[in-house]
Amino acid sequence: MQARGQLMIEHRLIERMLSVIKAAVSKIELKHEVDPVFVDIAVDFIRVYADRTHHGKEEEIFFRELKNKPLSAEDQRVMNELLEEHAFGRRTTKALVGANTRYRNGDKTALSDIIEKLQTIIEFYPKHIEKEDKVFFPATRAYFIETEDQAMLAEFLEFDQKMIHEKYMSVVEGFERRQ
């Protein structure tokens, strides 16, 4: 398997979660209420899996290695767009957390913000994923020889092995700060 293949496999799980979120949005709009715990779980998935784990591998390994290559102007432009899109996803998720907190604290007007941010997420990620899968990843195949690709794949595995520890260190530290 190539490093890009691992990233594309991760895209499929993200797409499945987007389908779950889309179905939830339909129910939220129908009932005019949201379960804040569902939003918490969706945010956790987006932050930990889609952003920290998946985008982490892209930014900290794959893109890092690409920066050492003589990228074409077009490939450089697309990589910069992808980085900007990752930042957009983070800002949208942060706004979703804020809206969910307001809703949980009794501000029923926050429901429209929750719906808007969830809609933004389910509209944004498929386009982002398609750009990576169909445009950027195929273009980047030319930059790596097999040994470089396999080294990145091994680094992806090491990155993933650290994630569970990073996640739960964060959970414990969060609780400790509240004490």
Question: Would you state the torsion angle of the CA atoms of residues 118, 121, 123, 127, taken in this order, to the nearest 10 degrees?
Answer: -170
**pLDDT digits 0-9 by tens, 22-31:** 999 999 999 9
Q: What pLDDT was estimated at residue 144?
A: 95
- Domains of the chain are 3-170 (1.20.120.520)
* Cα distance between residue 170 and residue 137, in whole Å: 32
pLDDT-above-70 percentage for the chain: 100
**pLDDT digits 0-9 by tens, 30-45:** 999 999 999 999 999 9
Q: What pLDDT was estimated at residue 175?
A: 85
Q: What pLDDT was estimated at residue 163?
A: 83
Give whole-number Cα distances, 136 to 25, 29, 42, 98, 132, in Å. Answer: 30, 35, 27, 33, 5
Among candidates 125, 62, 61, 135, which has minimal Cα distance to 90? 125
Task: Judge whether residue 179 has pLDDT over 90.
Answer: no
Over the chain, what is the mean pLDDT? 95
Joined together, the tokens standing for residue 11 give: 């895209």
Task: Judge whether residue 164 has pLDDT over 90.
Answer: no
State CA 44 to chain mean position distance: 10
Q: What pLDDT was estimated at residue 1?
A: 82
